[in-house]
Amino acid sequence: MKQPIEAAKNSARKGDVVANKKAGWFYTDVVKEHFFHPKNFLDQEEEMPDAYLGMVGSPACGDAMKVWLRIEKEADGEERIKAFKWKTFGCASAIASTSMLSVMVTENGGMNIETALALRPQDIMLRLGGLPARKVHCSVLGDKALRSAINDYFRKSGQLDRLQIEHGRFVDNVLKITDHDIEEAVLEGADTLEKVQAKTKVGTGDPSCIPEVEQLIRFYKEKYFGA
C-alpha cells in the first residue's frame, strides 16, 4: 500500500496536469521530467567550495535562483564549464529551465564561456519543448543567473574587461538595441511588439531577434504590471 505522502504527490501531479491543460499551461514531458527529477541540484553548498556564484531573482512570480559554476582552462586556453549546480525557489518552469540549462552547459565535456554567454532563453525553451507563455520569464532567469556566475568568474580571475553588463546585452545586433531598451519601452507603455518597434525599431535591422523581443516584452509586462 502506498504511503499517504506518495499518494498525495501522485494526486497533485495528476491535478496539475488537468489544471494546466484547462488553463493553457500544459507542460511537456521534458519539462515534467526536469521538474520532478531535477539534474545537478545542489544539496549542500559545501559541494562547490571554490565555485563561481551567480544570483538572480524576479518579483514577477517570486522566483529566486542561485547558480554555482566550476570553470577550468584547458591546455589550448579554452575556458569550459565543467560543473553547474543550482538552487531555486520558484515554480515548475523555473526548476525545469534551470535543470535543463545545467545539462546544456556541462554536456560533451563542458560548454566554453563564449558559447555560454551567447545562450538565449529560446535555446533553453527549445530543449524543453516549449513553456507556457506566462512562464517564459523563468527561462530568462536561467540565462541571467548563468551570466551572473560567469561575471563572478571574470571578477575573481581579474578579467574585468570581459564583464557583461546585464542591461546592455544586445538583442538586435544590427541596430545595437539592448534588452534594457526593451525594458524601458515596456515601462513607457509599449505592451505589444508593434508598439515596442515604434519606439525602438527593434527587429527592423535584425528580424531574427523578434522571438526573443516578444519573450522580453512578456517578461517585463509580467514583472512590472502582472500582465
Q: Tens-digit pLDDT profile for the chain (227 aa)?
A: 333 323 323 433 444 443 444 444 578 899 989 989 999 999 877 778 789 998 876 544 456 788 999 999 999 999 999 999 998 877 788 889 899 999 999 999 999 999 999 888 778 888 998 877 666 666 667 787 898 899 999 999 999 889 887 666 788 888 888 888 898 888 888 999 999 999 889 998 789 999 999 999 998 888 777 65
Q: By CB neighbour count within 10 A (0-12 exposed, 13-18 middle, 19+ buried), where does 166 fall?
A: middle
Instruction: Please write the tens of the pLDDT for every residue from 153-209.
Output: 999 999 988 988 766 678 888 888 888 889 888 888 899 999 999 988 999 878 999
Fill in the amino acid letter for 156: K
pLDDT for 91: 78
Residue 211: the pLDDT is 93
CATH code of the domain made up of 25-164: 3.90.1010.10
Residue 133 to residues 76, 128, 136, Cα–Cα distance (Å): 42, 13, 6
Is residue 209 among the annotated active site residues?
Answer: no
Integer distance in angstroms from the first to the last C-alpha of the chain? 45
Kindly report the backbone phi and psi dihedral angles of residue 42, in degrees, each rounded to the nearest multiple of 5, phi listed first: -90, 115
The reported pLDDT for the residue numbered 105 is 97
Could you give the maximum distance between any two Cα atoms of the chain, in Å?
A: 63
| CATH, range 166-227 | 1.10.10.1100
Q: Is the pTM of this model over 0.85?
A: no
**Residue 199: exposure state from Cβ atoms within 10 A (0-12, 13-18, ≥19):** middle
pLDDT of the residue at 17: 41
Query: For the residues of the chain, what is the DSSP string, one character each?
Result: ---HHHHHHHHHHHHHHHHHHHHT-PPPHHHHHHHHS-SSB-S-GGG-TT-EEEEEE-TTT--EEEEEEEEEE-TTS-EEEEEEEEEEES-HHHHHHHHHHHHHHHGGG--BHHHHHT--HHHHHHHHT---GGGHHHHHHHHHHHHHHHHHHHHHTT-GGG---GGG-EEETTTTEEHHHHHHHHHTT--SHHHHHHHH-TTTS-GGGHHHHHHHHHHHHHHHH--
Backbone phi, psi, residue 195, to 5°: -70, -40
Catalytic residue chosen out of the listed positions 17, 48, 53, 61:
61
Q: What residue segments make up the domains of the chain, in order of their start?
A: 25-164, 166-227
Active site residue 61: yes
Active-site hit among 138, 146, 196, 216: 138
